[in-house]
A and B are shown apart, each in its own frame.
Chain A
Amino acid sequence: MMAVSPTRMSLLRLRRRIALARKGHDLLREKMDALVMEFFEVLRRVYEVRKEAFDRLASAHFLLSLCMASWGTVETEQAAREAAKGVVLETSVRYVMGVPVPVAEVEVTVRSPLERGYSLLSPSLLDRASEEFERALKLLVELAELEETARALAWELERTRRRVNALEYILIPRLEAALRFIAMRLDEMEREHFFRLKRIKALLERRERSGGGAEG
């Protein structure tokens, strides 16, 4: 139990501390609930986007393999080297309950065959494969954003959960035990005081009686 002096002042101070701890506990629990909700929502999106991205990549690789088989590996690799590279990616940070999470946006990922920069004599299979890869790129950027968001939220959730548990299982019970101890001690002191007063009153009455008897 906490070391406290059993005075009325300490009692009042403890009551204030308990009220603050309870308020903090309620607010942090609200935050924890909201974080859990956000976290599971992000996880759901991670699952969806990952599945979609992997499906697109599988389809892109299949089309690329077909292109290599029909047009030739060397020609396909040459077209890949000729293709224009570089994507404009805008990144920023947004806050979810004080937790910084990334925001990544790609302006345009799907380009026209002319913008890609390789020979226009290439087969349509290469265009289809490129398009699938470009679509997958947007999803991969979104996936990276979501996974980083999930990591940041999980860390904050763990931290908040520790605080809520410390309040619920350590601080509040300790403060309440100290409050009970002080209240009990003050009651005891009051009873002692009352008993003392009764004894004094009885003593005074006895003295008065014995004094009156001597006079009479």
Chain B
Amino acid sequence: MEEVLKAELARLNSPFPKQRISLEEALSSERPGVPLTNGAFQPFRREELELLASLVPEGKRGELRLPILLALDPGLGRGAVRVRGEAESRAVGSLLGKRVEGGELVIYRPELREVRRRLPTTTYYLFLP
């Protein structure tokens, strides 16, 4: 059972994006997306990129890294998710109509549902041990 558990924990963040690209790069790319650690490619939907572009000022598009990581941290309590990075947390904050202070935003399950509903391909879950 413990072997299964260890394998399961190792599998939680697999596959993971090998690199993140800026919103600016994604918008100018013909096939926007990022490679994953298992060799697959995670595509971004064009409509989501356009939605993000409407939320972020033009000068800041180079700072927003995609996919936006939604960190599930059991230390924060059940259902709480942390969004790190100033541009990323501001984008998610303006999507939800939330004020962001500092380079971090904590959102809860109903907000997470809204974020995932509107940005299913440009956000990615990250499990923090």
Interface residues of A, Cβ cutoff 8 Å to B: 17, 20-21, 23-24, 26-31, 33-34, 37-38, 41, 92-98, 100, 103, 163, 166-167, 170-171
Do B79 and A33 have beta carbons less than 8 Å apart? yes
Size class of B's contact patch?
20 to 34
CB-nearest residue of chain B to A101: B120
How many angstroms between the C-alpha atoms of A20 and B14 in the bound complex? 19
Do B36 and A31 have beta carbons less than 8 Å apart? no
Contact partner, B78, options A29, A37, A95, Cβ 8 Å: A29
A63 to chain B, nearest CB (A): 29
CB-nearest residue of chain A to B70: A34
Determine the chain B residues whose CB is within 8 A of the CB of A41 once the complex forms. Answer: 113, 116-117
How many angstroms between the C-alpha atoms of A26 and B129 in the bound complex? 9
Do A98 and B12 have beta carbons less than 8 Å apart? yes
Determine the chain B residues whose CB is within 8 A of the CB of A37 once the complex forms. Answer: 109, 112-113, 116
How many angstroms between the C-alpha atoms of A28 and B78 in the bound complex? 11
Closest A-B pairs by Cβ, 4 of them: A26-B74, A24-B5, A30-B72, A92-B43
B30 at the interface (CB under 8 A from A): no
B47 to chain A, nearest CB (A): 11
Do A27 and B2 have beta carbons less than 8 Å apart? no
Contact partner, A27, options B12, B14, B112, B121, Cβ 8 Å: B12
Determine the chain A residues whose CB is within 8 A of the CB of B2 once the complex forms. Answer: 17, 20-21, 171
Interface string of B63-75 (1 = CB under 8 A from A): 0000000001010
Q: A33-B109, A94-B43 are in contact. Are A163 and B127 (CB under 8 A)?
A: no
Which residues of B, 1-31, contact A by the 8 Å Cβ criterion? 1-2, 4-6, 8-9, 11-15
Most B Cβ at <10 Å: residue of A20, A23, A92, A95: A95
How many angstroms between the C-alpha atoms of A20 and B129 in the bound complex? 10
Do A33 and B117 have beta carbons less than 8 Å apart? no
B16 to chain A, nearest CB (A): 9
Do B11 and A98 have beta carbons less than 8 Å apart? yes
A-B contact pairs, 19 of them (CB 8 A): A23-B129, A24-B9, A27-B127, A28-B8, A29-B78, A30-B74, A31-B72, A33-B79, A34-B72, A37-B109, A92-B41, A93-B40, A94-B42, A94-B121, A96-B125, A98-B11, A100-B40, A103-B43, A103-B121
Do A27 and B9 have beta carbons less than 8 Å apart? yes
Q: A30-B72, A163-B4 are in contact. Are A97 and B125 (CB under 8 A)?
A: yes
How many angstroms between the C-alpha atoms of A24 and B7 in the bound complex? 10
CB-nearest residue of chain B to A159: B8
